[in-house]
Amino acid sequence: MGGTRVIATPPRHIQREFDYKLPTGRPLVPIEAIMVLLDKSEDDILNLIECGFLRWAFDISTPPPNLEPRTSNVEPGRRRRELRVYRESVLDYLHDAHQQPPYYSFEPEPTLERVITVILPPGTQPTLMASKFAHRLTCSSQHVLNLIDAQVIPTITVRRRGPNGSPLIERSGARAFLRSRCAAVLTKNGKTITLHS
């Protein structure tokens, strides 16, 4: 069947330039997304974290099994890092790099507790659904379930089948998890302090 080939063109309404706006509902950004956003390698992003340019990073990885496979590139007794960077730190870095207007109204040096409050789902309830916590961490629900199974995050209900089967976890436990997994923070004198490795 003959005919002329038609090359599809994108609709005009598609935005061609990224304006550095990140969804507010996901306060933690994966390393892979930052690599695309900043057009930098993984090593470059890790260096920005270690040097304090990306001020708030969290390692949400699960504990390693007792025996690592021989083919694993992770040393026995160590886990593969799953780093997430605080959204506002990424926007702050872009603001400094591109001289754009600031996108948030935090104080120049927000405290770790303030950052954790923003990361957690809004509300004052003592419990929160594991699925909602996973959304805020930008990870799968299964990843949070793995953290629960490893007794890294305390839970007060068991998982059930169905749309509302996500277990409830203690808000204080989620806060403690983030506090213990903060990889690095930038102090006022510009020094990076490693809190967790």
163 in Cβ contact with 131 (< 8 Å):
no
pLDDT reported for residue 23: 73
Q: Name the maximum alpha-carbon separation found in the chain.
A: 71
Range of the domain at 136: 28-64+79-194
Residue 154 inside a domain? The answer is yes
- Judged on CB neighbours under 10 Å (0-12, 13-18, 19+), 34 is buried
Q: Is 177 left (phi over 0), alpha (psi -120 to 50) or beta?
A: alpha
Residue 125 inside a domain? The answer is yes
Give the confidence band of 115 by pLDDT, cuts at 50, 70, 90. Answer: very high
Residue 13 inside a domain? The answer is no
Residue 47 inside a domain? The answer is yes
Helices 31-38 and 87-98 sit at what angle, rounded to 10 degrees? 10
Residue 69 inside a domain? The answer is no
pLDDT reported for residue 55: 84
Q: How far is CA 179 from the centre of its chain?
A: 14
pLDDT reported for residue 81: 82
Amino acid at 66: N
CA pair distance 169, 107, nearest whole angstrom: 30
Closest to 181 (Cα-Cα) out of 149, 156, 144:
144
Q: Which residue has the tokens 């199974």?
A: 149
Residue 59 inside a domain? The answer is yes
pTM (predicted TM-score) = 0.72
**Token duo for residue 174:** 């989620």
Count of Cβ atoms closer than 10 Å to residue 15 Cβ: 6
pLDDT reported for residue 2: 57
pLDDT reported for residue 32: 94
**Token duo for residue 24:** 């507010």
| Phi, then psi, of 129 in degrees rounded to 5 | -75, 140
User: Average pLDDT in the 104-130 region?
Assistant: 82
Give the confidence band of 50 by pLDDT, cuts at 50, 70, 90. Answer: confident
Residue 20 inside a domain? The answer is no
CA distances from 17 to 25, 40, 142, 178 (A): 22, 18, 34, 34
Residue 143 inside a domain? The answer is yes
Q: Give how many domains the chain has, as a whole number.
A: 1
Question: Does residue 176 have a pLDDT over 90?
Answer: yes
- 24-36 pLDDT tens trace: 789 999 999 999 9
